[in-house]
Amino acid sequence: MAVLGYGRDDMLAVHLMKTYCLPILLYGYEIWSMSPSDKHKVDVAWNNCSGNVFNVCWRESVKSLLFYCSTMPSSLLVEQRKMIFYNKTLHSNNIVLRILCALHRNEAQKLSFMYHTFPGHSSIMDSKRSVWSSFVRVLTI
């Protein structure tokens, strides 16, 4: 935010945040096993970044801002990335990756069930659409 200065463009700040900060925050997250409190800490960090761009109080929800910026909470972004990771490894030519993916089949099936996709048969765009639809459903409730 200091680089952009006082008269900054908020959407440019969001773009920079999604391009540079999000990959660092979620690096390798697809294969981590984290406790719920660790997941909460990542969510808080992402929400604080999003709130800082629009000068929102830390107690206010940023879900509507995330929707406006065409992004989601970090917990949903992680689940989306995990679904894509499992689909890619399941269809990989590397037998070791396919075996490792088969060992974690339960988690892949759980994610597919949560977002109404078919494990190993949905495309990247289907995975992205299903997680986004879930986020939108939560916002409209």
Question: What's the confidence (pLDDT) of residue 2?
Answer: 66
Determine phi and psi for 120, rounding to 5 degrees: 85, -10
The answer to whether residues 106 and 58 touch, using CB atoms and an 8 Å cutoff, is: no
Rg (CA), the chain: 17
Question: What's the confidence (pLDDT) of residue 38?
Answer: 85
Residue with tokens 């890619």, as numbered in its chain: 88
64-118 residue pLDDT tens: 888 988 889 888 888 888 888 888 887 788 888 878 777 777 777 787 778 877 7
* In the chain, where the domains are located: 10-140
